[in-house]
């Protein structure tokens, strides 16, 4: 993000004494970069197209319909449907340390085009074939795939490249797919009303949740639960959720291991690994750091502070 900030600082245009706004336009999208230079509260913002907003520096407090108010930091994003209100507080903004964020707008027609393709590719005998970016906002935390895409898109917007529109079109399509996968994953995994239990992917998720501590849980076994061939199951699972079956199994194990670390403070990490379904402590450490961006020991220290 540092290179993006430097590029933006070279190109920015002053629009008010309190806020800078720089806009870049492309065929199917528009990028707005904001810099707020003073503390402010209850600032209302709407866009007449769907957007993904990402923080660059500083902190905001976001008030969105249907979501409890939350602090918004760099590395996080918010997906907002058309004409939905964002009410924003800027508690730390100042001239010396402005709060900087971006809002990437995407043409609704382009989104619908990608949604149709996505649903066609993830459909399993009329199952899971109606995903969309509906009328509710969503808050994304630690979604590295989305963060990297937004960074690449922002970089491309700020460069005068002859192929800019073509590159942006491809990256916007990928971004919409990533957002659809994120939504599908959230809905299926957090299926409180068990709507997806009767679908093949939903039944596999339920099976994993009930059996993730088994060290012999394999893709072949999951494919049998889904009544699909191993290769077809692996492809459909990843296409729908944006994550491989093995990575999802490991995420459930890591989630459980964090619970054990909090509850069993005197337990050795090798025991935590075994109880969480890992038969190899080194592999447990690698997976934990990959998903939590810290080692199990660092996590343990953080909760004892």
Give 17-55 pLDDT, tens digit per residue: 456 889 998 888 999 999 999 998 998 888 888 888 998
Token digits of residue 187: 């809905």
Q: What is the pTM of this model?
A: 0.63
Structural domains in the chain, CATH included, are 1-190 (2.60.120.10), 200-245 (1.10.10.60), 247-304 (1.10.10.60)
For residue 245, give the nearest of 217, 276, 273, 213 by alpha carbon.
Answer: 217
Say if residue 302's pLDDT is above 90: no
Give pLDDT tens digits for 148-201.
888 899 999 988 778 888 999 999 999 988 888 787 777 666 664 554 555 788
pLDDT of residue 131: 57
Burial class (CB in 10 A: 0-12, 13-18, 19+), 127: middle
**What confidence category does residue 111 fall into, taking pLDDT thresholds of 50, 70 and 90?**
confident
Burial class (CB in 10 A: 0-12, 13-18, 19+), 55: buried
Nearest 10 degrees: Cα torsion 195, 199, 201, 202? 30
Instruction: Report how far residue 79's alpha carbon sits from residue 180's, in angstroms, rounded to the nearest whole number.
Output: 11
**What confidence category does residue 63 fall into, taking pLDDT thresholds of 50, 70 and 90?**
very high
pLDDT of residue 50: 87
Q: Are 70 and 62 in contact (CB under 8 A)?
A: yes
Q: Are 137 and 81 in contact (CB under 8 A)?
A: yes
């Amino acid at each position: 993000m540092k290179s993006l900030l430097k590029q933006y600082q070279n190109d920015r245009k002053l629009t008010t004494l309190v806020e800078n706004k720089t806009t870049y336009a492309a065929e199917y999208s528009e990028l707005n970069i904001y810099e707020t230079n003073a503390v402010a509260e209850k600032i209302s913002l709407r866009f007449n197209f769907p957007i993904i907003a990402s923080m660059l520096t500083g902190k905001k407090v976001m008030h969105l319909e249907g979501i409890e108010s939350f602090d918004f930091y760099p590395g996080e994003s918010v997906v907002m449907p058309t004409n939905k209100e964002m009410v924003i507080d800027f508690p730390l903004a100042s001239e010396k340390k402005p709060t900087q964020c971006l809002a990437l707008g995407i043409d609704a027609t382009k989104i619908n085009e990608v949604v149709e393709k996505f649903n066609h590719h993830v459909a399993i005998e009329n199952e899971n074939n109606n995903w969309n970016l509906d009328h509710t906002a969503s808050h994304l935390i630690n979604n590295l795939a989305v963060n990297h895409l937004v960074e690449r898109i922002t970089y491309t917007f700020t460069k005068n490249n002859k192929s800019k529109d073509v590159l942006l079109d491809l990256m916007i399509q990928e971004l919409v797919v990533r957002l659809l996968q994120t939504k599908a994953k959230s809905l299926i995994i957090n299926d409180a009303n068990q709507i997806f239990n009767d679908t093949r992917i939903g039944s596999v998720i339920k099976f994993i949740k009930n059996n993730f501590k088994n060290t012999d849980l394999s893709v072949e076994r999951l494919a049998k639960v889904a009544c699909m061939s191993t290769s077809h199951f692996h492809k459909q699972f990843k296409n729908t959720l944006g994550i491989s079956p093995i990575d999802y199994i490991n995420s459930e194990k890591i989630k459980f291991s964090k619970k054990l670390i909090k509850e069993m403070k005197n337990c050795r990490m090798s025991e935590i690994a075994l109880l969480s379904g890992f038969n190899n402590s080194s592999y447990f450490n690698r997976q934990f750091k990959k998903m939590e961006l810290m080692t199990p020991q660092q996590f343990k220290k953080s909760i004892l502070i």
